[in-house]
A and B are shown apart, each in its own frame.
Chain A
């Protein structure tokens, strides 16, 4: 949906004066919201960049002054590169798992749910009504060392550390769970647009069910796959809640490092550098990904 087609013909052939007045109305409508985003999103990002270059004031801890200390970036990377690697590894695995889990459900809602469709969609977003932190914390009970899941997997000797809780597996499972609705909804939105007759046509032409899926449904659902994977990957790579509540201290992610440096160590330049690097990496990943997938109209 890149070009928003005007739903009325008024703007195209209206005389110039009225056109000008109409676009003035548009700007009046845009000013408050875009102004807010400008002041509280764009300016903060710029401030973040300048803060990341600040240098400490001699003899006063936690106080910094304007400088051009690019070495902050080197320091941030050399000290926290394992956190970066961990963040992107965990979030990539979680995104792939979420895609595998979400696809059958989205497919079912789009093609087979019939009159249950609306109810199932409500159920998909319903987890958002329960506290994110508490839902994550509940996994401590489900994955606990004495719990059913851990003990049955242990009986089969499938766990490397004989436990799930406080390991990276728990963090990845938590990330997969938490952002699943963000995967399901875009997948559903693009699957729902597919004409079911296309699938029937594939069947009529003797395509085996899997071939029909691979050649018809999957390619047509790609916009949803792109949107869903981004909506899962982005929040997952910045998250520090799952690592804190479900992992061990050795599972800390970039989010943890940013939070600790900002709020505990009050090392604002390093924290800002970390934050800025995270944002830059994600933006680059997003734009390459969108370009390669050929769907530039996500908004």
Chain B
């Protein structure tokens, strides 16, 4: 009983983590299912058919590739624009700072239906054809704010003495930026890019409004939900999940090791 009382928070914490993963486990398990009818929602029989023929259903892999393509373009543009804004906000004094902050905050405080539908209203009034570019434009728009917040946090958390030291050692502003500032901020920028890609790749609501007849991976799933989602979609989603998880965990491990080695060398001196 005393043990329970002392560890109660830990137990709840682990239960909540488990809760977060229950639906993902269901998706992974159902990717090995041979569904009885057209709906893959209850367990029937073990099968690896979907994994062996992951592109077997028309539309699955093409929509998947399309989502990756849009994700890469949108992330690249939004990361560059967002990083520039973050630098301006942290490193420069200028008039209009409050307006800038508000303009960054508002898209995040606006529900996706409003972002998606307002952009559609614009494209409709301009009779701009919906498709690849309207979706990409929309993704860039809603990712920028997240990039700004992530990179800004990294810039503010940086030790200013490192740059001062560089200047004291007569490094030109450009050299300081290239050899000190940029390498230090890079992990933050990469993290922001990863977040941006995840947001773009998985976005449904904003995409749905501006896609026209374009079918991204989430749009495909939405359409398929009515008539039964193919098992291949479960397999692809499981694959994406594990690849991303392994990627992020190994980046974490490498960072932790680098930090330990750095601390050890500082301690040795």
Which residues of chain A have a CB within 8 Å of any CB of chain B?
A: 1, 4, 6-8, 11, 19, 22-23, 25-27, 29-30, 32-34, 36-38, 40-45, 47-48, 50-51, 101-102, 104-105, 107-109, 112, 118-120, 122-142, 144, 146, 177, 180-181, 230, 234-235, 237-241, 245, 254-255, 258-259, 262-263, 268, 271-272, 275-276, 278-279, 282-283, 286, 298-299
Which residue from chain B places its CB closest to the CB of A26 in the assembled complex?
A: B92
Residue of B23, B106, B218 near A177 (CB, 8 A) is B23
Which of B21, B82, B92: most chain A CB closer than 10 A?
A: B92
Within 8 A of A (CB), among B228-253: 229, 233-234, 237-238, 240-241, 244-245, 248-249, 252
Q: Does chain A have a CB within 8 A of B88?
A: yes
Q: 13 A-B residue contacts at CB 8 Å?
A: A11-B93, A26-B93, A48-B114, A123-B20, A124-B20, A131-B202, A138-B22, A141-B42, A241-B205, A254-B113, A262-B117, A279-B110, A298-B105
Binds A, one of B49-57, B157-165, B261-269: B157-165
Which of A43, A237, A241: most chain B CB closer than 10 A?
A: A241
Do B112 and A235 touch (CB < 8 A)?
yes
Interface of A is mostly: helix
How many angstroms between the C-alpha atoms of A38 and B95 in the bound complex? 17
Do B92 and A134 touch (CB < 8 A)?
no
How many angstroms between the C-alpha atoms of A11 and B94 in the bound complex? 10
How many angstroms between the C-alpha atoms of A22 and B156 in the bound complex? 19
Q: Does chain A have a CB within 8 A of B111?
A: yes
How many angstroms between the C-alpha atoms of A52 and B190 in the bound complex? 40
Which residue from chain A places its CB closest to the CB of B67 in the assembled complex?
A: A131
Do A234 and B109 touch (CB < 8 A)?
yes
Q: Does chain A have a CB within 8 A of B175?
A: no
Residue of B94, B138, B209 near A40 (CB, 8 A) is B138
How many angstroms between the C-alpha atoms of A43 and B130 in the bound complex? 17
Do A101 and B117 touch (CB < 8 A)?
no
Which residue from chain A places its CB closest to the CB of B144 in the assembled complex?
A: A33
Do B202 and A41 touch (CB < 8 A)?
no
B144 to chain A minimum Cβ distance, whole angstroms, is 5
Q: Does chain A have a CB within 8 A of B186?
A: no
- Given A51-B121, A238-B113, A279-B110: A129 and B13 within 8 A (CB)? no
On chain B, the residues within 8 Å of A299 by CB distance are 101-102, 104-105, 149
How many angstroms between the C-alpha atoms of A11 and B89 in the bound complex? 13
Do B9 and A255 touch (CB < 8 A)?
no
Q: Does chain A have a CB within 8 A of B198?
A: yes
Which residues of chain B have a CB within 8 Å of any CB of chain A?
A: 9-10, 12-13, 16-17, 19-24, 26-27, 30, 41-42, 80-82, 84-85, 87-95, 97, 100-107, 109-115, 117-122, 124-125, 137-138, 140-141, 144-145, 148-149, 152, 155-156, 158, 160, 163-164, 198, 202, 204-205, 208-209, 217-218, 221-222, 225, 229, 233-234, 237-238, 240-241, 244-245, 248-249, 252, 256
Do B20 and A131 touch (CB < 8 A)?
no
* Pairs of residues from A and B, 9 with the lowest C-beta to C-beta distance, nearest first: A238-B111, A26-B92, A33-B81, A108-B13, A44-B118, A129-B244, A138-B23, A29-B88, A48-B118
Residue of B9, B160, B256 near A107 (CB, 8 A) is B9
Which residue from chain A places its CB closest to the CB of B93 in the assembled complex?
A: A11
Do B111 and A278 touch (CB < 8 A)?
yes
How many angstroms between the C-alpha atoms of A70 and B199 in the bound complex? 36
On chain B, the residues within 8 Å of A263 by CB distance are 208-209
- Given A122-B249, A142-B26: A131 and B217 within 8 A (CB)? yes
Do A26 and B163 touch (CB < 8 A)?
no
Do B27 and A36 touch (CB < 8 A)?
no
- Given A105-B13, A146-B42: A262 and B217 within 8 A (CB)? no
On chain A, the residues within 8 Å of B41 by CB distance are 137, 140-141, 144
On chain A, the residues within 8 Å of B13 by CB distance are 104-105, 107-109, 112, 120
On chain A, the residues within 8 Å of B95 by CB distance are 23
